[in-house]
Amino acid sequence: MRTVIAILLLGLVSATASARILKSSAQPLDPYLPKSGVINGQAMELGATAEHARIAGKMQHAIQEDAAWLKSYVAKAKPGEPLPYHPRLGVTKAEYDTLLHAKMSLIDRGSVSIKLTANAQGALEFAADGLAGGLNGVTLSPERKSAQTPYGNLTVTSEISQDDAESATGRWKGVQWKKESAPAVTLALGRRQSGHGILYYDVTPAANSPGQSLIVIYRLD
């Protein structure tokens, strides 16, 4: 179901009209990171009703059987907008609309601890295990203008202003690093309206990667 949610772009941190491109100066990250250098928080996942899960399962099966078509279809989609309906998605138009308008919520998967350390070159390195283990190998450049991941360098940097109160994450502002070549990867750090920090890391499934997604909500000290 995670793949289906990513494809539908249900308003988590996709580059919508609310994302503003950064200027040449580095974006300060202090408002989004604990002073201790350790993110202690909760790993979350997007959840929905059993009916939504049933529809998503049908769609998941269909797109796995037709991956080449899906890749070309997604490439034609307008950035920041939900993927238009097509019968080859494996569900009816009514089912697709039901899934598209599903009210997602964050479900707690467990506690995580992520250590942030500046290396000799000044890059910020992520180190974690367990539910957040996918962040190992992720670094932010000394100027914080790009991010390096095991799946490639993220050089497209933008500000995030998520103003939809109905979003599963609520309102928040932050910065994201992204690359769109396969596998597409997004890393984002921000501050929720509640005052909590939010980290988002997503790797879309590709031929050389099964994909992964991580959302962490944490206290800012």
Mean pLDDT for all residues in the chain: 85
Most confident of 71-75, 118-122, 195-199: 195-199
- Residue 17: predicted pLDDT: 32
Does the pTM of the predicted model rise above 0.75? no
Q: Which residues of 9-31 are buried (b: 16+ CB within 10 A; e: fewer)?
A: bbbbbbbbebbeebeeeebeeee
Of the chain, the percentage scoring pLDDT greater than 90 comes to 55
What share of the chain has pLDDT > 70, as a percent? 87
| Residue predicted with more confidence, 175 or 75 | 175
pLDDT of residue 71: 86
Question: If you compute the radius of gyration of the chain from its CA atoms, what whole number of angstroms results?
Answer: 17
